[in-house]
Structures are given as structure tokens and as C-alpha cells.
Amino acid sequence: MPLLRPALDDIDRRLLDLLQIDADQTLRELGDQVGLTPSAVQRRIKRFKKAGLMRTVAVLDAQQTTGLTQALVMLTLAEESPTLHRRLANRLRKDPAVQQCYTLSGRWDYAVLVSAASVRELRDLSNRLFKSDDNIRRYDTMFVLDTVKAGTVIPVDLLG
């Protein structure tokens, strides 16, 4: 777990921007773009990872996958309590079909983006995750027809 988020200087922000755009760049290429040696770049990247600011992942392009069914599921809970929220969040966090999950203000309590191999699998997933949960008062499932934008880049200038 991260202890404290490190203070970010302009070079840190630029490095994070560059890594989000193309994480396959060499340390030398990154260093050339920000005016640092490869070893200095490596130290900063290690600091980002240690602080939990950055992790190493491969991001697959959902548009390039064939046969993937995605849906946005909106949830309303029957009862509100930290324990019930934590229980649901832990269950959703552990399920590999759950791609994204957000708690919300307003009419809905959660927005959950799920992926499945077929509509039938999505139905089974909905039964297992949502219908079987007595604390979910209502859920609406909306199928994703087309992805207009699905980004993973976080604007680092907003990080402070």
C-alpha cells in the first residue's frame, strides 16, 4: 500500500504523461525528452511505483476484441451502511468481469462496467452479482453499442 503520494515536480508530470502515452519507451528515450539520465528516470519511476502512483499493466483495446459484450449496470442499494458498501465493493473488485466500478451521488449508488463473452454469459453474471444480492434494490443494464472514448490517461496537471 502507498504510504504518501510523492510531491510531483514538472519533470515528474512530464514523465507520467510520456509513460501514459507510450510505456514502451526506453529509459534513454524518456530521459532525452525530460532532460534526465536513464538512471535518474529509473529512480523516479521506482518512486512512482513504490508510492502506488503507477503500476505496470498491459491495457488491451476492447475495440479490437471480437465477440466481447459490454454493459453498464446501474445499481441502487436497499440499505445504506459502510459495511454493506464495503461488502459489495469487495465482491465487485474481485470479479474479473467487472472492468470498472464507481460509487455515485444522485439516483444511483453504483455504476459498474462489465464485460462478458456473450449476452447469455452477461445474464448469468447479472444473476450472480446483482439479482442474488438482497441489498440491491434495483439494477438497470444498458448494453454498450459502440465505444466513443475509453481512456486510461489521467491528466497529471490535475494531480497538484
What pLDDT tens digit does each residue of the chain (160 aa) get? 445 667 889 999 999 999 988 889 999 999 999 999 999 999 999 999 998 888 877 777 766 766 789 999 999 999 999 999 999 999 999 999 999 999 999 999 999 999 999 999 999 999 999 999 999 999 999 999 988 888 888 888 777 6
Equal fold, 1-59 vs 62-143: no
- State residue 1's pLDDT score: 45
CA gap 18, 22 in Å, rounded: 6
- Give the CATH number of domain 1-59; options: 3.30.1110.20, 2.40.100.10, 2.40.50.100, 1.10.10.10: 1.10.10.10
Neighbours of 84 (CB within 10 A): 14
- Confirm if 68 and 117 have CB atoms less than 8 A apart: yes
> CA torsion 23→26→32→36, rounded to 10°?
90
Q: Supply the Cα-derived Rg of the chain in whole angstroms.
A: 20
Sequence-distant (6+) residues with CB within 8 A of 58 are none
Q: Which fold has domain 62-143?
A: Alpha-Beta Plaits (3.30.70)
Instruction: Kindly report, residue by residue over 30-59, the tens digit of the pLDDT.
Output: 999 999 999 999 999 999 999 888 887 777
Domain positions in the chain are: 1-59, 62-143
| DSSP 8-state class, residue 131 | I
pTM of the entire structure? 0.75
